[in-house]
Amino acid sequence: MKIGILTGGGDCPGINAVLRAVVKTAVNEYGWEVIGFRDGFRGLVLNDFCRLAPADVMGILFRGGTILGSSNRDNPFHFRVEENGQVRYEDLSGQALRNAEAHSLACLLVVGGDGTLSCAFDFTKKGLRVIGIPKTIDNDLSGTDLTFGFMTAVDTATDALEKLHTTAESHHRIMVLEVMGRYAGWIALHSGIAGSADVILIPEISYNLDRVARRIQERKSKGKTFSIIVVAEGAHAENEEMAVSRRVEGSPDPVRLGGIGQRIATDLEKLTGNEARVTVLGHL
C-alpha cells in the first residue's frame, strides 16, 4: 500500500514530528510506502515528490519548520500559472488528482490549517481519500480542542508580554502587542491572561475604544502609569472592518490581516494623551 503526505500553510513546531511519526509507523509497522509532496499542494499539482523512508526522518523530531516545505499561496482550484511573462489562474485540481492516481495512493494525509484543509475537503468531493491533520497556531479548527502549534504560539506571546512590562513601566507607556490568530482570539486570550495584560481585544467581541481609554485612565487614577494591551490581528471596533494588510490571489485564504495594533495605538494616544508603542509578533 502507498500513502501520500504534504504540509501546507504556515509552519509551526510539531510538523516534522508528525512526518516522522507517519513515516516510521507506515513503513516499520505496516510495510507501506510513503510519498511526500514538496511545498504543499504545489507539489501535488506539479508532481514534485520524494519517497520517504525512516532514514529520511531521523533527527527531525525537534527540528522546526517542515522538511517537505510548505506554501500558503497555492490553491489547486485557483492555481497561479506564468507563461510568456503573463500570469493567469487555472483550476488544476484535475491535474493534481491525476498525479495522486498515478501514484496509486490509498490515501493522502494533509497537514494544515483551515485554508489547506478546505482544499483537502474539496478533493474529497472529487473522490480522493484524505486524512486531515489539524495544524495551526490559531487553534481555530472546529471539532479540535487544541491544534498543534497553538501552545508554542501562546508561550511566545506570553514571553513577549513579560518583556514588554518592564519597558512600559519604565517609560510610562501604553504598549500594544499585536498577535496572530486570524479570525480567532485564542492566542490573544491565553497569552493575555498568562502575561497579565490589562486589556485583551479579540475578533469574537468587537471593542469600543472609549471603554479601553477609560480603563487606561482608571489605572492612571490608581497610580499605575502604564498599560499593556494584547490585540488579536482580527480584532475590530464596533461598526468597523478588520484591518487588512494585503490580499494574495491564488491562496486558499487570500486575506492577510495586519495593522490593527498601530490603529489602536494611534487612537489611544489621542484619547489618553499617553505615548503608545506597538510590537507586532510575526514569524518567530
> Annotated active-site positions, please?
138
Run of H or E including 28 = none
CA atoms of 277 and 264, how far apart (whole Å): 10
CA atoms of 18 and 62, how far apart (whole Å): 11
Tell me how far CA of residue 7 lies from CA of 54, 142, 164, 207, 237, in angstroms: 18, 19, 34, 35, 35
Q: How many residues does the chain have?
A: 284
Q: Are strands 86-90 and 79-83 parallel, antiparallel or unpaired?
A: antiparallel
CA atoms of 284 and 60, how far apart (whole Å): 19
C-alpha cell at 276: 503608545
Count CB neighbours of 227 within 10 A: 26
